[in-house]
Structure 1
Amino acid sequence: MILIELFWSFFKIGLLAFGGGYGALSLIQDQIVNINNWMNLEEFLTLISISQMTPGPIAINSATFIGYRIAGVPGSVCSTVGVVLPSVFWIFLILKLLKLLSRWIDTSEVFNALRLGIVALILSATFRIGIESINSIFTLILGIFAFVILSKFRLSVIWIVLGTGLVGVIWTVLLPF
């Protein structure tokens, strides 16, 4: 039964997650933390960090990790297939619709409208996870500093992740309270 639950939960995420992995974060959090209680919020935030650092899309990495944690290898397979399968459906459906609609309308306007919805999903995930990640003045200041550095100097995200991780380790070693 748990394999079906994993598949169905991630199938719903894959079906509704427009805008890539960042757009899916709110949906993943809702399914994993709030609805199914497979993880608490702290574990979920750790999962997101790990999913960010490993190669591959965040939704697939999350599905694989959560599935494995809940039901081993069969769970990771069910979760991963569940989150990927809707993409195949959407691509097929969108290509058919675009082919049909391109005779009558400018399809670039459709994509412009979709882009706004995707931005809204990404901003929602950013604010939800950002607010829940701030648990001290240190994390708030570090987050603001990382954002400013990223915006002003356009460094690679890899350097920001490595730098903030290093600062966190140093902070923890120097002030372990």
Structure 2
Amino acid sequence: MIAGVVWIGATRSDDAPAPVPSAAPAVPDRPAGAFPLTVRYVYDGDTIQAEMQQPNEVVTTSHPIRIRLIGIDTPEGTPALECWAAEARAHLGELLPEGSTVWAAPDRDTWDHYQRRLFHLWTDDGRFVNAELVIAGDAEAIRIQPNVGYFDLLAALEADAQSAGRGRWGACG
């Protein structure tokens, strides 16, 4: 439950209202233009390796590519282990287990200066991975132009996670 949110909504099996946040920002559904990849490896809390299921005009190769999630930053695991790095990596691994399908959508630029691809990611069941990590307190929102399409949403989710003391915000000083 998100702190300070009033829940309204449909009926659960016990006839109590289902939790639907009334004040939380709306998390976007997977865009129609998103394309599927297969997860090969989770490097850390904001970087994975995946391979295209069907190369397209955005990713023309079927070789594995390194993907950096746009708009978020998680604590680093190397060279020194930062507080909450292991938990952020583990959560991303739960959201995107090796062999699973992940859906990617670009923002404006699709490359960073480390030769990683830059994408927003959704799980096969439609969860917005970038937002899930921020909601859990695993990641902070970052604004790197020109890829700022979801920055306002991620910043609002970060403020909520901080005020609730979730994840790194409650565990790391």
Both proteins in one fold, TM over 0.5: no
Q: Which has the higher contact order (CA 8 A, sep 6+)?
A: 1
- The structure where strand makes up a greater share of residues is 2
Instruction: Determine which structure has more spread, i.e. the larger CA radius of gyration.
Output: 1
* TM-score using structure 2 length: 0.20
